[in-house]
């Protein structure tokens, strides 16, 4: 008999969290190990009635009033400490249900603690600003300032590819601002969200300020959209689903981090010793399942062959396979179906004339790190988000044309440029229509303190605790007229 992939003592509650209690329901859905395909757990699917109860309970908690800012900060700091004490449990959950390698899972835990502490900082320094009424003739004696108040119930709908830290980029700033949260984790990765719920309650978050509902977007997600007491929706996922949420939200506020085709440009003067490992890791880590993963890689013609060779050599050092093996650097995709899709796109590109420089092979849900050159401009590996360990390399001679090509997608989340030329760097910053433009970094470099969000079909609004807390508050102007 095989040992359980997650031992019983490490498994979180598998119900719906409402008012500090985990509630069962008749229907259950399986959680599978993304590498072995074996069942890991069964989770109760939240019922329609439980969704309504979750929103009603959190709404009542907000109406009664949030704890003082210093108390909210203390909860978030204590949660960071508790996550460290349960690190092994979080890692086991993410390796199993998300397919993360040990390195990626531990990195997720490290970043989660940073996000919690940053959010705690914001809880105690969330203030408004003075209004300079003296600038208006006749109003110089007035005193005006703004204050910020919580919006109410925040509904967080979160993705499988960052089941802890992205969740905390929504939950922690929301609570720091005094809001209550209804969290719906991805149905692929419900256990990590449940573990986080246990930690937040243990850290002292008032039970009414957190609910966790589990299930698919077509059912539970749709029911959440129908609940009018939700004041704010924060979502990370596909542009298609983002449009559905935005339409349902109406005049209610939202923050959307949606689809992407991320580009990175490597100019002739780039420092390749720095650039190559950054590009390879940014395109292939987490099996390429990161919204900012380098997919389009533009390389100046004069160094294109050298860059291609170096990337192939580096990719050969990234072992793909069992995420529980400490030597593994590229684990499985979220499902075998996703891997089959990505494999088909690669085969389609090669059939249309692209060169397969390395990789391309699939073993169940694992795809080897893959580098393709000269992909056709209308092929799916170039024109659609791959969400797989795939780099599509294309040479360029004209920097302006490369910038225009990078801009020529419906998306605009993040881009990177490697160059030593300050004029070229500034031109890229002015020209690339992306939420983030990184110089001498890839599209996929992110610090949790920074503002993060996209433009165009990549969405709007910002993550990053200092920015998210302001999105999740209402600004009120107060004027004294002596």
| Residues 194, 140 share a domain | yes
pLDDT at 3: 56
Number of domains in the chain: 2
Q: Which residues pair with 421 in a beta bridge?
A: none
| Residues 32, 110 share a domain | yes
Mean pLDDT of the chain: 97
Six token digits for residue 301: 């013609």
In a domain, 164, yes or no: yes
pLDDT at 449: 98
| Residues 135, 80 share a domain | yes
Higher pLDDT, 10 or 194: 194
Residue 393: alpha-carbon gap to chain centroid? 25
In a domain, 103, yes or no: yes
Question: What's the pLDDT band for 10 if we cut at 50, 70, 90?
Answer: confident
Question: What's the pLDDT band for 179 if we cut at 50, 70, 90?
Answer: very high
Given the residues 45, 108, 257, 441, the one annotated as active site: 257
| Residues 370, 314 share a domain | yes
CATH code for position 380: 3.40.309.10
| Residues 223, 299 share a domain | no
When pLDDT is averaged across residues 193-216 and rounded to a whole number, the result is 98
| Distance of alpha carbon 89 from alpha carbon 333, whole angstroms | 21
pLDDT at 5: 81
pLDDT at 1: 37
In a domain, 3, yes or no: no
Percentage with pLDDT > 90 across the chain: 98
| Residues 267, 165 share a domain | no
| Residues 354, 433 share a domain | yes
Q: Which residues pair with 417 in a beta bridge?
A: 265, 439
pTM: 0.96
Question: What's the pLDDT band for 344 if we cut at 50, 70, 90?
Answer: very high
Six token digits for residue 335: 């499902």
pLDDT tens string 77-86: 999 999 999 9
| Residues 212, 234 share a domain | yes
| Residues 208, 170 share a domain | yes
Q: Known catalytic residue: 291? A: yes
| Residues 165, 44 share a domain | yes
- What residues make up the domain containing 95? 8-258+458-478
| Residues 417, 346 share a domain | yes
What phi and psi, each to the nearest 5 degrees, are found at residue 9? -70, -15
Length of the chain, in residues: 482
In a domain, 453, yes or no: no
In a domain, 249, yes or no: yes
In a domain, 2, yes or no: no
When pLDDT is averaged across residues 121-135 and rounded to a whole number, the result is 97
| Residues 225, 292 share a domain | no
CATH code for position 55: 3.40.605.10
Percentage with pLDDT > 70 across the chain: 99
In a domain, 1, yes or no: no
Question: Is 90 exceeded by the pLDDT of residue 31?
Answer: yes
In a domain, 359, yes or no: yes
Count of beta carbons in the 10 Å neighbourhood of residue 391:
29
Given the residues 44, 155, 291, 358, the one annotated as active site: 291
């Amino acid at each position: 008999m095989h040992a359980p992939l997650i031992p019983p003592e490490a498994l979180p509650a598998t119900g719906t969290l409402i008012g500090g209690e985990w509630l069962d329901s008749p229907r259950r859905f399986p959680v599978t190990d993304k590498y072995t395909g074996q069942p890991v757990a069964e989770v109760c699917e939240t019922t329609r009635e439980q969704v309504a109860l979750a929103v009603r309970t959190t709404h009542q908690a907000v109406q009664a009033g949030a704890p003082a800012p210093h108390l909210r900060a203390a909860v978030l700091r204590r949660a960071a400490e508790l996550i460290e004490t349960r690190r092994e449990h979080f890692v086991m959950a993410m390796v199993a249900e998300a397919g993360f390698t040990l390195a990626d899972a531990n990195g997720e835990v490290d970043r989660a603690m940073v996000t919690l502490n940053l959010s705690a900082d914001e809880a105690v320094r969330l203030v408004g600003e003075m209004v300079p009424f003296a600038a208006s003739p006749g109003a110089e004696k007035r005193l005006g300032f703004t204050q910020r108040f919580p919006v109410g119930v925040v509904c967080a709908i979160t993705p499988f590819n960052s089941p802890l830290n992205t969740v905390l980029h929504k939950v922690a700033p929301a609570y720091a601002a005094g809001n209550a949260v209804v969290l719906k984790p991805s149905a692929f990765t419900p256990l990590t969200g449940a573990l986080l719920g246990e930690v937040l309650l243990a850290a002292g978050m008032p039970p009414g300020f957190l609910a966790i509902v589990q299930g698919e977007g077509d059912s539970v997600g749709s029911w959440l959209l129908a609940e009018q007491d939700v004041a704010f929706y924060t979502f990370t996922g596909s542009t298609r689903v983002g449009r559905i949420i935005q339409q349902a939200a109406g005049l209610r506020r939202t923050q959307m981090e949606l689809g992407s085709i991320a580009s990175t440009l490597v100019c002739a003067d780039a420092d390749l010793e720095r650039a190559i490992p950054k590009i390879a890791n940014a395109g292939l880590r987490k099996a390429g399942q990161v919204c900012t993963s380098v997919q389009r890689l533009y390389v100046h013609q004069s160094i294109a062959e050298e860059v291609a060779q170096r990337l192939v050599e580096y990719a050969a050092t990234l072992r793909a396979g069992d995420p529980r093996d400490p030597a593994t650097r590229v684990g499985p995709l979220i499902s075998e179906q996703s891997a089959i899709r990505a494999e088909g796109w690669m085969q389609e590109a090669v059939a249309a004339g692209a060169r397969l420089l390395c990789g391309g092979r699939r073993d169940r849900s694992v795809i080897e790190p893959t580098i393709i050159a000269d992909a056709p401009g209308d092929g799916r590996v170039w024109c659609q988000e791959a969400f797989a360990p795939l780099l599509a390399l294309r040479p360029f001679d004209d920097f302006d044309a490369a910038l225009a090509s990078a801009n020529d997608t419906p998306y605009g989340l993040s881009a990177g440029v490697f160059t030593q030329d300050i004029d070229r760097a500034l031109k890229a910053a002015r020209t690339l229509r992306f939420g983030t433009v990184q110089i001498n970094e890839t599209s996929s470099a992110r610090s949790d303190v920074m503002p993060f969000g996209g433009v165009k079909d990549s969405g709007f609004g910002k993550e990053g605790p200092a920015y998210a807390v302001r999105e999740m508050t209402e600004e009120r102007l107060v004027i004294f007229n002596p």
